[in-house]
Amino acid sequence: MRLRHLVLVLGDQLDGQSAAFDDFDPGQDAVLQMEVREEATYVPQHKRRLAFFFSAMRHFRDEQRGAGRRVHYSELDDPANRGTIPAEARRWAEALRPRKLIVLQPGDWRVREQLARLGWPIEFRADRHFLCPADAFADFAEEHPGLVMEPFYRFMRLRLGVLLDPDGRPAGGAWNYDTDNRAAFGRSGPPPCPRERSFAPDGVTRGVLALVERAFPHNPGRLGGFDLPVMRSQALAALDDFVEHRLGYFGRFQDVMRIGEPVLFHSHLSGPLNLHFLRPAEVLEAVIANPAGAPLNSVEGFVRQVIGWREFVHGIYWRFMPGYAEENALGADLPMPRFYWTGETDMRCLAEAIGHTIDHAYAHHIERLMVLGLFALLLGVRPYDVHRWHMSMFSDAIDWVSLPNALGMGQHGDGGVVGTKPYAASGSYISKMSNYCRHCRYDPHKALGDDACPFTTLYWDFLARHAPRFARNPRMKYPYVHLARKDADELAMIRRRAAALKTQLTAEAFL
Protein backbone atom coordinates (compact mmCIF):
# COMPACT_ATOMS: atom_id res chain seq x y z
CA MET A 1 0.00 0.00 0.00
CA ARG A 2 1.29 3.40 -0.95
CA LEU A 3 2.21 5.69 1.93
CA ARG A 4 -0.42 8.35 2.50
CA HIS A 5 1.42 11.06 4.47
CA LEU A 6 5.09 11.51 5.23
CA VAL A 7 5.27 13.87 8.22
CA LEU A 8 8.49 15.85 8.02
CA VAL A 9 9.56 16.93 11.53
CA LEU A 10 12.22 19.63 11.50
CA GLY A 11 14.75 19.97 14.30
CA ASP A 12 12.81 22.72 16.07
CA GLN A 13 9.41 20.96 15.88
CA LEU A 14 9.83 18.11 18.36
CA ASP A 15 6.25 17.83 19.57
CA GLY A 16 4.45 14.55 19.00
CA GLN A 17 1.09 16.30 19.49
CA SER A 18 1.65 19.07 16.98
CA ALA A 19 -0.80 19.82 14.16
CA ALA A 20 1.41 17.75 11.84
CA PHE A 21 0.14 14.64 13.66
CA ASP A 22 -3.54 15.58 13.88
CA ASP A 23 -4.70 12.87 11.49
CA PHE A 24 -1.69 10.58 11.73
CA ASP A 25 -2.52 6.94 10.99
CA PRO A 26 0.28 4.52 11.92
CA GLY A 27 -0.95 2.13 9.27
CA GLN A 28 -0.73 4.64 6.40
CA ASP A 29 1.68 7.36 7.51
CA ALA A 30 5.30 7.72 8.57
CA VAL A 31 7.61 10.30 10.13
CA LEU A 32 10.77 11.70 8.57
CA GLN A 33 13.57 13.39 10.51
CA MET A 34 16.86 14.53 9.01
CA GLU A 35 20.23 15.65 10.27
CA VAL A 36 21.74 17.55 7.34
CA ARG A 37 25.15 19.11 6.99
CA GLU A 38 23.95 22.38 5.46
CA GLU A 39 21.94 23.23 8.59
CA ALA A 40 24.99 22.45 10.72
CA THR A 41 27.43 24.50 8.65
CA TYR A 42 25.74 27.56 7.09
CA VAL A 43 27.20 29.40 10.08
CA PRO A 44 30.07 27.88 12.13
CA GLN A 45 27.89 26.57 14.92
CA HIS A 46 28.76 26.04 18.57
CA LYS A 47 29.46 22.39 19.31
CA ARG A 48 26.99 22.45 22.20
CA ARG A 49 24.26 23.85 19.94
CA LEU A 50 24.78 21.02 17.44
CA ALA A 51 24.80 18.41 20.19
CA PHE A 52 21.61 19.81 21.73
CA PHE A 53 19.73 19.69 18.42
CA PHE A 54 20.96 16.25 17.35
CA SER A 55 20.43 14.66 20.76
CA ALA A 56 16.93 16.13 21.11
CA MET A 57 16.05 14.95 17.59
CA ARG A 58 17.29 11.42 18.25
CA HIS A 59 15.45 11.19 21.55
CA PHE A 60 12.28 12.36 19.82
CA ARG A 61 12.81 9.67 17.16
CA ASP A 62 13.06 7.00 19.84
CA GLU A 63 9.99 8.31 21.69
CA GLN A 64 7.93 8.24 18.50
CA ARG A 65 9.03 4.73 17.66
CA GLY A 66 8.15 3.73 21.21
CA ALA A 67 4.68 5.17 20.63
CA GLY A 68 4.20 2.92 17.59
CA ARG A 69 4.98 5.42 14.84
CA ARG A 70 7.18 4.52 11.90
CA VAL A 71 10.15 6.93 11.80
CA HIS A 72 12.66 7.25 8.99
CA TYR A 73 15.77 9.03 10.24
CA SER A 74 18.79 10.41 8.38
CA GLU A 75 21.89 10.59 10.53
CA LEU A 76 24.52 13.15 9.65
CA ASP A 77 27.23 10.66 8.73
CA ASP A 78 25.01 8.33 6.69
CA PRO A 79 26.79 8.03 3.29
CA ALA A 80 23.44 8.28 1.51
CA ASN A 81 22.60 11.61 3.20
CA ARG A 82 22.41 14.35 0.55
CA GLY A 83 23.27 17.10 3.00
CA THR A 84 20.44 19.61 2.59
CA ILE A 85 16.83 19.65 3.74
CA PRO A 86 15.28 19.76 0.23
CA ALA A 87 17.65 17.19 -1.28
CA GLU A 88 17.26 14.76 1.60
CA ALA A 89 13.48 15.23 1.76
CA ARG A 90 13.29 14.56 -1.96
CA ARG A 91 15.40 11.41 -1.58
CA TRP A 92 13.02 10.00 0.99
CA ALA A 93 9.93 11.11 -0.92
CA GLU A 94 11.16 9.37 -4.06
CA ALA A 95 11.90 6.20 -2.08
CA LEU A 96 8.67 6.10 -0.07
CA ARG A 97 6.31 7.69 -2.63
CA PRO A 98 3.91 9.37 -0.16
CA ARG A 99 0.88 11.07 -1.62
CA LYS A 100 1.77 14.19 0.35
CA LEU A 101 4.38 15.62 2.68
CA ILE A 102 3.06 17.23 5.87
CA VAL A 103 5.14 19.82 7.71
CA LEU A 104 4.50 22.53 10.29
CA GLN A 105 5.25 26.10 9.34
CA PRO A 106 9.08 26.16 9.65
CA GLY A 107 10.77 28.59 12.02
CA ASP A 108 13.03 29.83 9.22
CA TRP A 109 11.83 31.63 6.07
CA ARG A 110 14.75 30.15 4.11
CA VAL A 111 13.72 26.59 4.95
CA ARG A 112 10.09 27.23 4.13
CA GLU A 113 11.03 28.55 0.70
CA GLN A 114 13.27 25.54 0.06
CA LEU A 115 10.46 23.14 0.91
CA ALA A 116 7.87 25.08 -1.09
CA ARG A 117 10.03 24.50 -4.18
CA LEU A 118 10.58 20.82 -3.43
CA GLY A 119 8.55 19.57 -6.39
CA TRP A 120 6.44 17.21 -4.29
CA PRO A 121 2.90 17.76 -2.97
CA ILE A 122 3.35 19.41 0.42
CA GLU A 123 0.99 20.78 3.04
CA PHE A 124 2.21 23.41 5.52
CA ARG A 125 0.20 23.42 8.73
CA ALA A 126 -0.11 26.27 11.21
CA ASP A 127 1.98 25.74 14.31
CA ARG A 128 -0.30 25.91 17.33
CA HIS A 129 2.70 25.80 19.65
CA PHE A 130 2.47 29.58 19.44
CA LEU A 131 -0.28 31.25 21.43
CA CYS A 132 -0.93 34.06 18.96
CA PRO A 133 -1.99 32.68 15.57
CA ALA A 134 -1.13 34.67 12.46
CA ASP A 135 -4.69 35.96 12.06
CA ALA A 136 -4.78 37.19 15.67
CA PHE A 137 -1.47 39.01 15.19
CA ALA A 138 -2.84 40.56 12.00
CA ASP A 139 -5.91 41.75 13.92
CA PHE A 140 -3.67 43.33 16.55
CA ALA A 141 -1.48 44.97 13.91
CA GLU A 142 -4.53 46.46 12.21
CA GLU A 143 -5.69 48.02 15.48
CA HIS A 144 -2.17 49.04 16.60
CA PRO A 145 -0.19 49.93 13.47
CA GLY A 146 2.73 51.10 15.61
CA LEU A 147 3.24 47.50 16.80
CA VAL A 148 4.43 48.42 20.30
CA MET A 149 5.04 45.42 22.53
CA GLU A 150 3.27 46.67 25.67
CA PRO A 151 -0.19 46.94 24.01
CA PHE A 152 0.45 43.56 22.41
CA TYR A 153 1.23 42.07 25.82
CA ARG A 154 -2.03 43.41 27.24
CA PHE A 155 -3.84 42.10 24.16
CA MET A 156 -2.41 38.65 24.88
CA ARG A 157 -3.26 38.78 28.57
CA LEU A 158 -6.88 39.52 27.71
CA ARG A 159 -6.94 37.02 24.86
CA LEU A 160 -5.64 34.19 27.05
CA GLY A 161 -7.26 35.28 30.31
CA VAL A 162 -3.89 35.25 32.08
CA LEU A 163 -3.27 37.04 35.41
CA LEU A 164 -6.66 38.75 35.39
CA ASP A 165 -9.03 39.45 38.26
CA PRO A 166 -12.64 38.27 37.87
CA ASP A 167 -13.61 41.73 36.56
CA GLY A 168 -11.04 41.51 33.77
CA ARG A 169 -8.57 43.89 35.35
CA PRO A 170 -4.89 42.97 35.76
CA ALA A 171 -4.01 40.99 38.86
CA GLY A 172 -2.66 43.26 41.56
CA GLY A 173 -3.92 46.38 39.78
CA ALA A 174 -1.08 46.83 37.25
CA TRP A 175 -0.30 45.28 33.89
CA ASN A 176 3.45 45.54 34.28
CA TYR A 177 5.72 45.33 37.34
CA ASP A 178 8.93 46.11 35.48
CA THR A 179 9.85 48.88 37.92
CA ASP A 180 10.07 46.22 40.66
CA ASN A 181 12.31 44.03 38.53
CA ARG A 182 15.50 46.07 38.19
CA ALA A 183 17.21 45.44 41.50
CA ALA A 184 20.96 44.92 41.73
CA PHE A 185 22.65 42.59 44.19
CA GLY A 186 24.84 45.23 45.77
CA ARG A 187 28.13 44.41 47.44
CA SER A 188 26.57 41.71 49.61
CA GLY A 189 25.89 39.60 46.54
CA PRO A 190 22.86 37.49 45.62
CA PRO A 191 20.62 35.57 47.98
CA PRO A 192 21.12 31.79 47.93
CA CYS A 193 20.60 30.67 44.32
CA PRO A 194 20.14 26.91 43.84
CA ARG A 195 21.86 25.52 40.77
CA GLU A 196 19.61 24.53 37.92
CA ARG A 197 18.70 20.91 37.38
CA SER A 198 21.26 19.07 35.26
CA PHE A 199 20.88 15.90 33.20
CA ALA A 200 23.71 13.43 32.71
CA PRO A 201 24.16 12.31 29.08
CA ASP A 202 22.69 8.90 28.29
CA GLY A 203 23.91 6.58 25.56
CA VAL A 204 22.13 8.49 22.80
CA THR A 205 23.62 11.80 23.90
CA ARG A 206 27.09 10.32 24.36
CA GLY A 207 26.93 9.08 20.77
CA VAL A 208 25.97 12.57 19.60
CA LEU A 209 28.79 14.20 21.57
CA ALA A 210 31.26 11.85 19.89
CA LEU A 211 29.73 12.62 16.48
CA VAL A 212 30.02 16.38 16.98
CA GLU A 213 33.65 16.18 18.13
CA ARG A 214 34.46 13.94 15.17
CA ALA A 215 32.59 15.89 12.50
CA PHE A 216 33.17 19.46 13.75
CA PRO A 217 36.48 19.47 15.65
CA HIS A 218 37.27 23.11 14.90
CA ASN A 219 33.86 24.63 15.62
CA PRO A 220 33.55 27.22 18.39
CA GLY A 221 32.47 26.34 21.91
CA ARG A 222 32.99 23.44 24.27
CA LEU A 223 31.12 20.20 24.97
CA GLY A 224 32.56 19.45 28.39
CA GLY A 225 29.96 19.01 31.09
CA PHE A 226 27.06 18.76 28.64
CA ASP A 227 23.96 18.47 30.83
CA LEU A 228 21.08 20.03 28.90
CA PRO A 229 17.54 18.60 28.90
CA VAL A 230 17.20 16.79 25.58
CA MET A 231 13.80 15.15 25.95
CA ARG A 232 10.36 16.18 27.10
CA SER A 233 10.47 14.46 30.49
CA GLN A 234 13.71 16.26 31.32
CA ALA A 235 12.35 19.62 30.18
CA LEU A 236 9.31 19.20 32.43
CA ALA A 237 11.61 18.37 35.34
CA ALA A 238 13.68 21.49 34.59
CA LEU A 239 10.49 23.57 34.55
CA ASP A 240 9.42 22.23 37.93
CA ASP A 241 12.89 22.92 39.30
CA PHE A 242 12.81 26.55 38.14
CA VAL A 243 9.34 27.19 39.53
CA GLU A 244 10.22 25.69 42.90
CA HIS A 245 13.71 27.09 43.41
CA ARG A 246 14.35 30.21 41.32
CA LEU A 247 11.10 31.83 40.17
CA GLY A 248 10.68 33.62 43.49
CA TYR A 249 13.69 35.87 42.86
CA PHE A 250 13.48 35.88 39.05
CA GLY A 251 11.52 39.12 38.74
CA ARG A 252 13.49 41.22 41.19
CA PHE A 253 16.88 40.13 39.88
CA GLN A 254 16.20 39.31 36.23
CA ASP A 255 18.45 42.14 34.97
CA VAL A 256 21.44 41.35 37.19
CA MET A 257 24.75 39.99 35.92
CA ARG A 258 27.50 38.43 38.02
CA ILE A 259 30.93 36.93 37.40
CA GLY A 260 30.82 33.16 37.02
CA GLU A 261 27.00 33.00 37.02
CA PRO A 262 25.50 32.38 33.57
CA VAL A 263 22.01 31.43 34.83
CA LEU A 264 21.37 32.96 38.28
CA PHE A 265 17.56 33.02 38.77
CA HIS A 266 16.69 32.59 35.09
CA SER A 267 14.83 29.52 33.87
CA HIS A 268 17.17 28.40 31.05
CA LEU A 269 14.11 26.90 29.35
CA SER A 270 14.29 28.76 26.04
CA GLY A 271 16.03 25.84 24.31
CA PRO A 272 13.36 23.20 25.07
CA LEU A 273 10.67 25.80 24.29
CA ASN A 274 12.18 26.76 20.95
CA LEU A 275 12.64 23.12 19.93
CA HIS A 276 8.99 22.56 20.92
CA PHE A 277 9.42 19.65 23.32
CA LEU A 278 8.29 22.04 26.03
CA ARG A 279 5.06 23.95 25.36
CA PRO A 280 4.44 27.59 26.34
CA ALA A 281 0.93 26.79 27.62
CA GLU A 282 2.28 24.32 30.18
CA VAL A 283 5.04 26.72 31.18
CA LEU A 284 2.43 29.41 31.85
CA GLU A 285 0.31 27.00 33.84
CA ALA A 286 3.23 25.94 36.03
CA VAL A 287 4.46 29.49 36.64
CA ILE A 288 1.02 30.90 37.47
CA ALA A 289 0.16 27.99 39.76
CA ASN A 290 3.57 28.05 41.46
CA PRO A 291 3.13 26.21 44.75
CA ALA A 292 6.17 27.92 46.28
CA GLY A 293 4.26 31.21 46.26
CA ALA A 294 6.50 33.39 44.09
CA PRO A 295 5.60 37.10 44.29
CA LEU A 296 3.44 38.64 41.59
CA ASN A 297 6.25 40.73 40.12
CA SER A 298 8.24 37.54 39.40
CA VAL A 299 5.27 35.69 37.95
CA GLU A 300 4.19 38.66 35.81
CA GLY A 301 7.75 39.30 34.63
CA PHE A 302 8.11 35.73 33.43
CA VAL A 303 4.65 35.64 31.85
CA ARG A 304 5.56 38.83 29.96
CA GLN A 305 8.58 37.11 28.43
CA VAL A 306 6.54 34.08 27.31
CA ILE A 307 3.34 35.66 25.96
CA GLY A 308 4.75 39.14 25.40
CA TRP A 309 8.20 39.19 23.83
CA ARG A 310 8.28 35.62 22.54
CA GLU A 311 4.93 35.83 20.75
CA PHE A 312 5.59 39.41 19.63
CA VAL A 313 8.87 38.66 17.85
CA HIS A 314 7.32 35.58 16.24
CA GLY A 315 4.55 37.76 14.81
CA ILE A 316 7.04 40.41 13.70
CA TYR A 317 9.19 37.84 11.90
CA TRP A 318 6.40 36.41 9.77
CA ARG A 319 4.82 39.82 9.12
CA PHE A 320 7.98 41.42 7.75
CA MET A 321 10.04 38.62 6.21
CA PRO A 322 11.87 38.22 3.92
CA GLY A 323 12.80 41.91 3.65
CA TYR A 324 13.27 42.21 7.41
CA ALA A 325 16.61 40.37 7.25
CA GLU A 326 18.07 43.15 5.08
CA GLU A 327 17.08 46.04 7.33
CA ASN A 328 19.92 48.29 8.46
CA ALA A 329 18.32 51.57 9.48
CA LEU A 330 21.44 52.97 11.17
CA GLY A 331 23.75 52.16 8.27
CA ALA A 332 26.04 50.01 10.42
CA ASP A 333 28.82 48.57 8.29
CA LEU A 334 31.44 46.89 10.50
CA PRO A 335 31.99 43.12 10.87
CA MET A 336 31.49 41.21 14.10
CA PRO A 337 34.80 41.29 16.03
CA ARG A 338 36.63 38.00 16.23
CA PHE A 339 36.71 38.05 20.03
CA TYR A 340 32.96 37.38 20.08
CA TRP A 341 33.86 33.77 19.25
CA THR A 342 36.93 33.49 21.48
CA GLY A 343 36.32 35.74 24.51
CA GLU A 344 39.83 37.16 24.10
CA THR A 345 39.23 40.73 25.28
CA ASP A 346 40.31 42.75 28.31
CA MET A 347 36.79 44.17 28.72
CA ARG A 348 35.63 42.08 31.67
CA CYS A 349 31.91 42.27 30.94
CA LEU A 350 32.39 41.05 27.37
CA ALA A 351 34.89 38.39 28.38
CA GLU A 352 32.45 37.13 31.01
CA ALA A 353 29.35 37.09 28.77
CA ILE A 354 31.23 35.56 25.84
CA GLY A 355 32.81 33.04 28.22
CA HIS A 356 29.35 31.98 29.37
CA THR A 357 28.41 31.57 25.73
CA ILE A 358 31.50 29.54 24.87
CA ASP A 359 31.04 27.24 27.87
CA HIS A 360 27.25 26.87 27.79
CA ALA A 361 25.95 28.09 24.38
CA TYR A 362 23.82 30.33 26.56
CA ALA A 363 23.76 33.76 28.17
CA HIS A 364 20.71 35.23 29.84
CA HIS A 365 18.73 38.01 28.18
CA ILE A 366 20.45 41.00 29.82
CA GLU A 367 23.91 39.73 28.93
CA ARG A 368 22.70 39.24 25.36
CA LEU A 369 21.02 42.63 25.07
CA MET A 370 22.96 44.98 27.35
CA VAL A 371 26.49 43.61 26.97
CA LEU A 372 26.86 41.56 23.80
CA GLY A 373 24.22 43.34 21.72
CA LEU A 374 24.95 46.76 23.20
CA PHE A 375 28.63 46.70 22.28
CA ALA A 376 27.86 45.64 18.71
CA LEU A 377 25.28 48.45 18.47
CA LEU A 378 27.65 51.13 19.76
CA LEU A 379 30.48 49.84 17.58
CA GLY A 380 28.32 49.85 14.44
CA VAL A 381 28.29 46.15 13.48
CA ARG A 382 26.09 45.10 10.56
CA PRO A 383 22.81 43.95 12.13
CA TYR A 384 22.56 40.75 10.12
CA ASP A 385 26.09 39.81 11.22
CA VAL A 386 24.94 40.07 14.84
CA HIS A 387 22.05 37.76 14.02
CA ARG A 388 24.42 35.28 12.34
CA TRP A 389 26.56 35.29 15.47
CA HIS A 390 23.47 34.51 17.57
CA MET A 391 22.65 31.62 15.25
CA SER A 392 26.23 30.44 15.52
CA MET A 393 26.65 30.52 19.29
CA PHE A 394 23.35 30.01 21.15
CA SER A 395 21.71 26.61 21.56
CA ASP A 396 18.23 28.21 21.68
CA ALA A 397 18.61 30.33 18.52
CA ILE A 398 16.01 29.80 15.77
CA ASP A 399 15.75 32.25 12.88
CA TRP A 400 12.29 33.54 13.90
CA VAL A 401 13.40 34.46 17.42
CA SER A 402 16.98 35.53 16.77
CA LEU A 403 16.37 37.91 13.87
CA PRO A 404 13.87 40.31 15.52
CA ASN A 405 15.75 40.15 18.82
CA ALA A 406 19.27 40.58 17.45
CA LEU A 407 18.67 42.74 14.38
CA GLY A 408 15.62 44.61 15.68
CA MET A 409 15.71 44.89 19.44
CA GLY A 410 19.47 44.72 19.94
CA GLN A 411 20.72 46.68 16.94
CA HIS A 412 17.71 48.88 16.05
CA GLY A 413 18.33 47.71 12.50
CA ASP A 414 14.61 47.74 11.73
CA GLY A 415 14.39 51.45 12.50
CA GLY A 416 11.92 51.04 15.35
CA VAL A 417 9.63 48.14 14.45
CA VAL A 418 10.50 46.16 17.59
CA GLY A 419 11.55 49.02 19.87
CA THR A 420 10.78 52.73 19.77
CA LYS A 421 14.34 53.59 20.77
CA PRO A 422 17.72 51.86 20.60
CA TYR A 423 18.92 49.99 23.67
CA ALA A 424 21.96 52.23 24.02
CA ALA A 425 23.80 52.74 27.32
CA SER A 426 27.25 53.54 28.65
CA GLY A 427 29.46 51.43 30.88
CA SER A 428 27.68 52.97 33.87
CA TYR A 429 24.66 50.73 33.24
CA ILE A 430 26.83 47.61 33.32
CA SER A 431 28.51 48.87 36.49
CA LYS A 432 25.13 49.34 38.15
CA MET A 433 23.74 45.92 37.19
CA SER A 434 26.81 43.72 37.67
CA ASN A 435 30.08 43.26 39.52
CA TYR A 436 32.00 43.08 36.25
CA CYS A 437 33.42 46.59 36.36
CA ARG A 438 35.00 46.07 39.81
CA HIS A 439 37.27 43.50 38.21
CA CYS A 440 38.06 45.38 34.98
CA ARG A 441 40.93 47.66 34.03
CA TYR A 442 38.50 50.18 32.54
CA ASP A 443 36.55 52.87 34.38
CA PRO A 444 32.89 52.75 33.27
CA HIS A 445 32.44 56.44 34.05
CA LYS A 446 35.25 57.68 31.82
CA ALA A 447 35.15 58.23 28.06
CA LEU A 448 38.71 59.49 27.63
CA GLY A 449 42.09 58.28 28.82
CA ASP A 450 43.95 54.96 28.91
CA ASP A 451 41.50 53.53 31.43
CA ALA A 452 38.35 54.86 29.72
CA CYS A 453 35.65 52.23 29.19
CA PRO A 454 35.16 51.49 25.48
CA PHE A 455 31.41 51.19 26.11
CA THR A 456 31.31 54.74 27.44
CA THR A 457 33.46 56.19 24.66
CA LEU A 458 31.38 54.48 22.00
CA TYR A 459 28.13 55.46 23.71
CA TRP A 460 28.79 59.20 23.36
CA ASP A 461 30.01 58.65 19.80
CA PHE A 462 26.81 56.71 19.02
CA LEU A 463 24.61 59.53 20.32
CA ALA A 464 26.57 62.14 18.40
CA ARG A 465 26.59 60.38 15.05
CA HIS A 466 22.89 59.49 15.26
CA ALA A 467 21.64 62.79 16.69
CA PRO A 468 19.63 63.66 13.56
CA ARG A 469 17.59 60.47 14.05
CA PHE A 470 17.23 60.29 17.83
CA ALA A 471 17.67 63.76 19.37
CA ARG A 472 13.94 64.45 19.19
CA ASN A 473 12.86 61.01 20.39
CA PRO A 474 11.01 61.66 23.71
CA ARG A 475 12.47 58.49 25.20
CA MET A 476 16.01 59.76 24.55
CA LYS A 477 15.57 63.27 25.88
CA TYR A 478 17.95 62.95 28.83
CA PRO A 479 20.88 61.31 27.00
CA TYR A 480 20.86 64.19 24.53
CA VAL A 481 20.61 66.75 27.32
CA HIS A 482 23.82 65.26 28.74
CA LEU A 483 25.46 65.11 25.31
CA ALA A 484 24.72 68.83 24.80
CA ARG A 485 26.70 69.63 27.97
CA LYS A 486 29.92 68.31 26.48
CA ASP A 487 32.10 70.99 24.93
CA ALA A 488 33.14 70.65 21.31
CA ASP A 489 36.78 69.79 22.05
CA GLU A 490 35.87 66.98 24.48
CA LEU A 491 33.36 65.50 22.05
CA ALA A 492 35.87 65.67 19.21
CA MET A 493 38.41 63.74 21.30
CA ILE A 494 35.76 61.15 22.22
CA ARG A 495 34.89 60.66 18.60
CA ARG A 496 38.55 60.29 17.58
CA ARG A 497 39.04 57.65 20.27
CA ALA A 498 35.87 55.90 19.12
CA ALA A 499 37.16 55.81 15.53
CA ALA A 500 40.42 54.27 16.72
CA LEU A 501 38.54 51.65 18.75
CA LYS A 502 36.43 50.68 15.75
CA THR A 503 39.52 50.17 13.61
CA GLN A 504 41.34 48.24 16.31
CA LEU A 505 38.45 45.98 17.39
CA THR A 506 37.23 45.01 13.93
CA ALA A 507 40.62 44.54 12.27
CA GLU A 508 40.16 40.80 12.46
CA ALA A 509 36.72 39.25 11.92
CA PHE A 510 35.69 35.61 12.19
CA LEU A 511 32.94 35.40 9.53
Q: 311 and 431 share a domain?
A: no
pLDDT at 58 over 90: yes
Q: 258 and 156 share a domain?
A: yes
Q: What is the mean pLDDT of residues 218-231?
A: 96
* 121: in domain: yes
- Give the end-to-end CA distance of the chain in Å, rounded to a whole number: 49
Q: 405 and 343 share a domain?
A: yes
* 226: in domain: no
pLDDT at 509 over 90: no
* Among 290, 320, 350, residue at a domain's last position: 320
Q: What is the pLDDT of residue 508?
A: 73
Q: What is the pLDDT of residue 180?
A: 87
CATH number at residue 56: 3.40.50.620
Q: 311 and 412 share a domain?
A: no
* 327: in domain: no
Encode pLDDT of 141-158 as tens digits. 999 988 889 999 999 999
Amino acid 92 reads W
Q: 246 and 378 share a domain?
A: no
* 300: in domain: yes
Closest CA to 464 of 443, 437, 483, 487: 483
Task: Mention every residue, 6+ apart, whose C-beta is less than 8 A from residue 136.
Answer: 159
Q: 366 and 279 share a domain?
A: no
* 224: in domain: no
Q: What is the pLDDT of residue 103?
A: 98
Q: 184 and 290 share a domain?
A: yes
Q: Following CA atoms 100, 11, 65, 204 in sequence, which dihedral angle do they give, to the nearest 10 degrees?
A: 150
Q: 143 and 86 share a domain?
A: no
* Among 69, 104, 125, residue at a domain's last position: 125
Q: 91 and 155 share a domain?
A: no
Q: What is the mean pLDDT of residues 45-57?
A: 98
Q: What is the pLDDT of residue 511?
A: 57
* 267: in domain: yes
Q: What is the pLDDT of residue 146?
A: 85
Q: What is the pLDDT of residue 379?
A: 98
**What is the distance between the alpha carbons of residues 377 and 370, in angstroms, rounded to a whole number?**
10
Q: What is the pLDDT of residue 188?
A: 78
CATH number at residue 248: 1.25.40.80
pLDDT at 22 over 70: yes
pLDDT at 187 over 90: no
Q: What is the mean pLDDT of residues 326-348?
A: 96
Q: 258 and 315 share a domain?
A: yes
Q: 291 and 149 share a domain?
A: yes
* 501: in domain: yes
Q: 181 and 250 share a domain?
A: yes
Instruction: Compute the mean pLDDT over every residue in the chain, rounded to the nearest whole number.
Output: 96
Q: What is the mean pLDDT of residues 23-33?
A: 97
Domain count, the chain: 3
Q: What is the mean pLDDT of residues 390-403?
A: 97
Encode pLDDT of 458-488 as tens digits. 999 999 999 999 999 999 999 999 999 999 9
Grouping H, G, I as helix, E, B as strand and the rest as coil, residue 98 is coil
Which residue range forms the structural domain that includes residue 477? 339-505
Encode pLDDT of 294-320 as tens digits. 999 999 999 999 999 999 999 999 999
User: 380: alpha, beta or left, given left = phi > 0 and alpha = psi -120 to 50?
Assistant: left
> CA-CA distances (angstroms) from residue 465 to 190, 468, 494, 497?
38, 8, 12, 14
* Among 79, 99, 125, residue at a domain's last position: 125
Q: Among 117-131, 173-187, 227-241, 386-400, name the one with the lowest average pLDDT.
A: 173-187
* 332: in domain: no
More confident residue, 193 or 269: 269
CATH number at residue 475: 1.10.579.10
